[in-house]
């Protein structure tokens, strides 16, 4: 796959920023996310070493690069037998096997029954515990790419809280205004917001956008009511959006499932692009999104990791990917990406075909 050709008239940074601002790029910007198994197989397929992450992004023509801040602080939570315990937040996971390999699945939920006193005492990292030293270096190294800070886990109120307190209790906390649960949420968000604030300050204008996340939908329905979203989720997210706008940065939000019910609020909040766009979820079909939000929101995703890429033939992948491009490309405002991390059950040839289609059919007409 040759990702550099005469049709590339824009830099990756210019291409992505054009989409954020509803302009027409030279081709659709491309992004990539994958689980370890398929990632390893793709590197082997393209003749790359297993640790050559940058080489794979170059081969696939990825226009995005993230600026991440490694944790350098102490282990705040003890190891537990037969579990993986996150040293920062105390999240427990256990290994679950499946046909394609396995996953670390959340379990135990150590703060499920905790009250305010226990949550107030729960060890959490300090913003001082992160390595900000490489920010300037990374901004310079990847200056031609669209650089972002944050990710789908920022602020990620429902999911992240649910990892420690359990999803059921987290939703009860929000619905019942439970002080202990809200305290846990706000303690974590204060830390995340300060980390981002420091990163943006150090970057000195070299970051291009903020990536945030909040899963708001099941496959068929909202996860919570619009009223509850506006009461507890929106005002907390607004702090992160306001931080980005203070640096004149656009914002992209990741939201799984049927989440278009919140898109009008996203627009009011200052969000510019929505990520994931599971086409099989209710009111998330590509035609629906373009018809209702084109020109007001940009889109990132739409190539289902639960569709032909995983379960179809190469021909199915080519057909489906071309169909998505035909719907999402007109008028600009679209970035090509999988809806989630590509799964390990995805055949290597299917994923390679998916990206080949993006390069072969994702170009916009050259103006005379």
| More reliable by pLDDT, 132 or 7 | 132
Helix intervals (H) in the chain: 12-20, 36-45, 53-60, 116-121, 135-141, 157-165, 167-176, 179-203, 226-228, 234-246, 263-269, 286-293, 308-311, 314-328, 348-361
Phi-psi region of 79 (alpha: psi -120 to 50; beta: other; left: phi over 0): beta
Query: What whole-number distance in Å separates Cα of residue 339 and Cα of residue 107?
Result: 25
Query: What pTM does this model have?
Result: 0.96
Looking up tokens 């939908």, which residue turns up?
A: 217
The percentage of residues in the chain with a pLDDT greater than 70, rounded to a whole number, is 97
Query: 105-116: string of b/e by CB count within 10 Å (b at 16+)?
Result: ebbbbbbeebee
The percentage of residues in the chain with a pLDDT greater than 90, rounded to a whole number, is 95
Q: Is the dihedral of CA 226, 230, 231, 233 positive or negative?
A: positive
- pLDDT per residue as tens digits for the range 46-97: 999 999 999 999 999 999 999 999 999 999 999 999 999 999 999 999 999 9
Residue 289 has pLDDT above 60, yes or no: yes
Question: What is the pLDDT, as a whole number, of residue 4?
Answer: 43
Region 295-304 average pLDDT: 98
Residue 6 has pLDDT above 50, yes or no: no
Query: What whole-number distance in Å separates Cα of residue 272 and Cα of residue 29?
Result: 16
Band (131; pLDDT cuts 50, 70, 90): very high
- pLDDT per residue as tens digits for the range 305-338: 999 999 999 999 999 999 999 999 999 999 999 9
What domains are defined for the chain? 12-74+112-361 (3.20.20.210)
């Amino acid at each position: 796959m040759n990702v550099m050709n005469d049709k590339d008239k824009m830099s990756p940074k210019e291409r992505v920023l054009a989409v954020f601002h509803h302009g027409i790029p030279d081709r659709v910007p491309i992004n990539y996310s994958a689980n370890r198994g398929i990632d390893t197989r793709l590197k082997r397929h393209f003749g790359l070493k297993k640790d050559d992450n940058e080489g794979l992004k170059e081969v696939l023509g990825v226009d995005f690069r993230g600026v991440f801040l490694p944790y350098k602080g102490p282990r705040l939570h003890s190891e537990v037998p037969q579990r993986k315990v996150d040293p920062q937040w105390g999240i427990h996971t256990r290994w679950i096997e499946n046909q394609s390999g396995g996953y670390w699945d959340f379990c135990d939920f150590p703060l499920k029954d905790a009250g305010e006193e226990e949550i107030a005492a729960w060890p959490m990292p300090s913003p001082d515990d992160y390595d900000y030293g490489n920010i300037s270096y990374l901004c310079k190294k990847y200056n031609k790419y669209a650089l972002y800070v944050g990710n789908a886990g920022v602020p990620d109120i429902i999911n992240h809280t649910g990892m420690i307190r359990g999803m059921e209790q987290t939703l009860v906390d929000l619905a019942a205004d439970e002080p202990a649960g809200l305290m846990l949420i706000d303690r974590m968000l204060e830390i995340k917001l300060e980390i981002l604030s420091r990163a943006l300050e150090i970057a000195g204008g070299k970051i291009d956008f903020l990536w945030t996340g909040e899963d708001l939908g099941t496959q068929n329905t909202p996860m919570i009511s619009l009223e509850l979203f506006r009461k507890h989720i929106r005002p907390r997210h607004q702090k992160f959006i306001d931080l980005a706008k203070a640096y004149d940065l656009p914002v992209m939000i990741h939201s799984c499932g049927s989440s278009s019910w919140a898109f009008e609020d996203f627009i009011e909040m200052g969000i510019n692009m929505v990520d994931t766009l599971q086409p099989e979820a209710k009111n998330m079909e590509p035609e629906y999104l373009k018809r209702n939000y084109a020109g007001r929101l940009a889109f990132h995703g739409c190539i289902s990791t639960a569709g032909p890429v995983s379960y179809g033939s190469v021909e199915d992948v080519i057909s489906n990917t071309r169909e998505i491009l035909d719907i999402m490309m007109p008028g600009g405002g679209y970035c090509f990406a999988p809806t989630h991390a590509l799964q390990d059950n995805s055949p290597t040839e299917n994923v390679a075909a998916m990206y080949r289609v993006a390069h072969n059919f994702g170009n916009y007409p050259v103006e005379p």
